[in-house]
Structure 1
Amino acid sequence: MTTTTAPPAARTASGGPDLTRAALSGRRRFSNHLATAAIWFAVLLAVVPLALVTWTVIAKGAGVMSLEFLTGDIPNSYRRVGPGMGPAIVGTLLITGAAALMAIPLGVFGAIYLNEYGKQRPLARTIRLMADVMTGVPSIVMGLFVYLAWVLLVGEQTGFAGALALACLMLPVVIRSSEEMLRLVPDELRQASMALGAPKWRTTLTVVLPAAISGITSGSLLAVARAAGETAPIIIVTGIVFSPNWNLFDGSNTALPAQIFRNASQPFPGAQERAWGAALTLIVIVLGFTIIARYVANRFAIKER
């Protein structure tokens, strides 16, 4: 007849059960369950406000969404009911796109210099310090800077001035996030490429960047999302229009955040409806940027064989 004995870890030297280890194991299981419950509770606390905000925007903004709302001119009176947000949508895409074209390449090149060439040199440390300082600068301060440095120089408020302000806000985010992603690339990849005879610039271009493209894309997306939702610089440096202006360098312009602010601050039902519709449109645009960024990251990232 076979007898079952307790595991050695559960018995003392005299053969009896080890109550200390059993109690310790029980406390560990309890701590694990408690930590898991706390994590799920924190996730719930984070998801519930996000879900409520999303549901409120959809519920209040979906009722005014239509083709006329997306393409119609902005009413020149807040008292009027009806469309549209066409000029603000055009301005948002143009201004944010121009800002991304200026900030993302410059930020990625800056991150390449900091991580691959500059390292801990004085210039590299100075750039990192300035990037950290710029990350905490309020957007209205950046708007005032562009107003003094560009708008007063040119003599008019333009969409390009708004793109400059947003690019200045995006640049430090792109630099710091891209540098962190490049830092995560294993040095063995660089050494293997150079051992095969590839110069440093080619190693960076064909090995390091593809390995970090997913993280760089995500960091750039964060910068674009921040820029797309900024209000203060747009109000200060772009002016206001009621019909689409496709020229960033000539005449005033507007964007969805500015229209959300202006319409939501009015007590008239028509203006508030347009504010909710503009908020929903802005969320959809940011979601579109997210999908594109994910596609780019998956398309160009190095695949494991």
Structure 2
Amino acid sequence: MAEQVAISPYAGSNGNRMRRAVANHMATALAIISTLLVVAPLVAIFVYLIYKGASSLNFAFFTQIPKPVGEVGGGMANAIYGSAILLGIGSLVGVPVGIASGIFLAEFGRGGRFANLVRFTADVLNGVPSIVMGISVYSLIVLPQKHFSALSGGVALGIMMIPTITRTTEEMLLMVPNSVREAALGLGVPNWRSVLSITLKTASPGVITGCMLAFARVAGETAPLLFTAFGNNFWSSNLTQPIAALPLQIYVYAISPYDDWHRLAWAGSLVLIVLIVVAVALVRFVTSRGILKGAN
């Protein structure tokens, strides 16, 4: 009688387990390498900026205006103040328009021809070079006014913020479950009130993150400000006059033949990067705390 050999269903399981372990380790290693490749440029920029610019940071840098040519010292206090004004104007222009456009696309214009046109326009506008944006605002605002101004610079930055905020707001609102909308409508809440008080509030962390991404993108723009704000070596808060900005001052100092101005340019670059990182980190921190409170 022939002997029957029982084949275990677990035969070869050790080999399969080994292959799965190798694949898992390879995927983990690739993920770690990819993360390092993303973080490495930012770390390298920070380290180099600290190396080149930290030695020029002092109290005068944050409290004084630029010194005349030939005098050592001075600071960029007026440029920091001017950048705050320009970014404030840009936010007043870009944030409301961008959020409103995103709400329309996600809640009221799904699949419509006009909505598709708005999406296409936002995508194209997002790819327009900043210098082209500056020339356009120069033609539309600066030339009719016959002078450069902080207002035109803020408008240019605000227009550049709109497409990023629009698309981010739309995507964040689309991630909100339809059951949330249906529950609000079932309670008799008007659609517009449901969108503003419930849907938008639920998606607010992502919307705020999109606003900060747009803010960070335009904070370091120089080309549009050359055609609009133009720059100023003195204190100015008049929205109808040229105004200083940190990117503009860095540009002027960087192309100058003076070593002292080169050092100040590196210091200004370091301050600009730090301000952007701190602003984004603070918003993310506040947003995450809001999520945790809501969960509790």
Query: What TM-score, normalized to structure 2?
Result: 0.93
Q: Which amino acid aligns with 2:132?
A: V
Q: Which amino acid aligns with 2:244?
A: T
Match of 1:111 in 2: 102
Give the one of 167, 175, 178 matched to 1:176: 167
Give the one of 217, 222, 230 matched to 2:208: 217
Distance 1:41 1:299, change over 3 A: closer
Q: Is 1:102–1:167's contact at 8 Å kept on the other side of the alignment?
A: yes
Query: What TM-score, normalized to structure 1?
Result: 0.90
CA distance in 2, matches of 1:28, 1:281: 48
Match of 2:263 in 1: 273
CA apart distance, 1:14: 1.4
Unaligned stretches of 5+ residues in structure 2 = none
Match of 1:201 in 2: 192
Give the one of 54, 65, 81 matched to 1:62: 54
Deviations 1:146-196 (A, max 9, x none): 011110011000111111111111000100011110110011000011111
Q: Is 1:157–1:239's contact at 8 Å kept on the other side of the alignment?
A: yes
Instruction: Work out whether 1:98 is the aligned partner of 2:79.
Output: no
CA apart distance, 1:15: 4.1
CA distance in 1, matches of 2:282, 2:73: 31
Match of 2:295 in 1: 304
Give the one of 122, 128, 131 matched to 1:131: 122
Q: Is 1:86–1:243's contact at 8 Å kept on the other side of the alignment?
A: no
Q: Which amino acid aligns with 1:268?
A: Y
Q: Secondary structure at the match of 1:103?
A: helix
Q: Secondary structure at the match of 1:237?
A: coil
CA distance in 2, matches of 1:40, 1:296: 28
Give the one of 247, 253, 276 matched to 1:286: 276
Q: Which amino acid aligns with 2:120?
A: L
RMSD, aligned CA = 1.7
> Which is worse superposed, 236-245 or 174-183?
236-245
Q: Which amino acid aligns with 1:125?
A: N
CA apart distance, 1:299: 5.9
Deviations 1:60-100 (A, max 9, x none): 222121221112111232x5421110111011000011101
Instruction: Work out whether 1:38 is the aligned partner of 2:27.
Output: no
CA distance in 2, matches of 1:284, 1:97: 18
Match of 1:258 in 2: 248
Q: Is 1:74–1:84's contact at 8 Å kept on the other side of the alignment?
A: yes
Q: Is 1:150–1:161's contact at 8 Å kept on the other side of the alignment?
A: yes
Unaligned stretches of 5+ residues in structure 1 = 1-12
> Which is worse superposed, 41-50 or 136-145?
41-50
Instruction: Report percent identity of matched pairs.
Output: 35
Q: Which amino acid aligns with 1:82?
A: G
